């Protein structure tokens, strides 16, 4: 891997997850976890999720891997239960930058408490994860996704367009 290239702002993924419809409570931020990076074939960190109704957990993963390694993230679990991949994008010129967003809805989430997020990859890579949980989210699949990458140019900004389909929608993004 070419460590000389800037490690941030190489790829942007956005997943639009549905929020409350009319007559439902507003979305409320529950918790955010930003663990350190891992250089391994797997990574595990703790995320505390609160109680409440209509919870949603999202996990962002940015992986740096040797060029041509393709989709390196094999599985993501929370408390041992498989999460659903919302979107991923692989880009790279000197090494692959794989950025993904995974999510889990209320039906599969454990009761309030602290549990492990486990990420497995197909080889030892640099894994940069994070997790966000909210309450009050509409319980269905991702509404829309978008991505953009700057081709590892080291640009100070990247941007993409995404049109929400639902009023009061939140956008979860992942930059790697």
- Helix H, strand E, coil C: the string for 77-140 is EECCEECEEEEEEEECCCCEEEEEEEEEEHHHCCCCEEEEEEEEEEEEEEEEEEEEEEECCCCC
Domains and CATH numbers, the chain: 23-145 (2.60.120)
- Is residue 163's pLDDT more than 70? yes
Residue 113: closest CA among 49, 29, 32: 49
- The chain-wide mean pLDDT, for the chain, equals 78
What is the 3-state secondary structure of 10-37? CEEEEEEECCCCCCCCCCEEEEEECCCC
* Tokens of residue 57, six digits: 């957990």
- Report how far residue 86's alpha carbon sits from residue 59's, in angstroms, rounded to the nearest whole number: 10
- Is residue 70's pLDDT more than 70? no
Q: What pLDDT score was predicted for residue 100?
A: 87
pLDDT tens profile 24-43? 568 899 999 999 898 888 99
What proportion of the chain, given as a percentage, has pLDDT over 90? 37
- Is residue 83's pLDDT more than 90? yes
pLDDT tens profile 95-154? 677 888 999 999 999 999 999 999 998 888 888 999 999 999 988 877 777 666 655 556
Q: What pLDDT score was predicted for residue 126?
A: 86
- Report how far residue 72's alpha carbon sits from residue 80's, in angstroms, rounded to the nearest whole number: 19
- Is residue 51's pLDDT more than 90? yes
Q: What is the CA radius of gyration of the chain?
A: 16
Please provide residue 112's backbone torsions phi and psi, each rounded to the nearest 5 degrees.
-50, 140
- Report how far residue 103's alpha carbon sits from residue 144's, in angstroms, rounded to the nearest whole number: 14
3-class state of residue 165 by DSSP? coil
């Amino acid at each position: 891997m070419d460590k000389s290239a800037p490690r941030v702002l190489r790829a942007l993924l956005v997943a639009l997850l549905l929020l409350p419809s009319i007559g439902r409570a507003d979305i409320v931020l529950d918790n955010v976890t930003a663990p350190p990076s891992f250089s391994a074939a797997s990574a595990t960190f703790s995320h505390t999720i609160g109680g409440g109704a209509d919870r949603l957990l999202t996990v962002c993963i940015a992986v740096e891997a040797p060029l041509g390694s393709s989709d390196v993230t094999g599985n993501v679990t929370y408390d041992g239960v498989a999460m659903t991949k919302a979107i991923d994008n692989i880009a790279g010129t000197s090494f692959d930058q794989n950025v993904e967003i995974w999510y889990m809805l209320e039906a599969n989430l454990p009761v309030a408490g602290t549990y492990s997020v486990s990420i497995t990859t197909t080889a030892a890579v640099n894994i940069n994860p994070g997790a966000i949980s909210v309450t009050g989210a509409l319980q269905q699949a991702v509404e829309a996704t978008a991505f953009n990458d700057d081709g590892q140019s080291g640009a100070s900004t990247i941007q993409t367009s995404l049109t929400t389909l639902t009023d009061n929608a939140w956008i979860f993004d992942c930059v790697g």
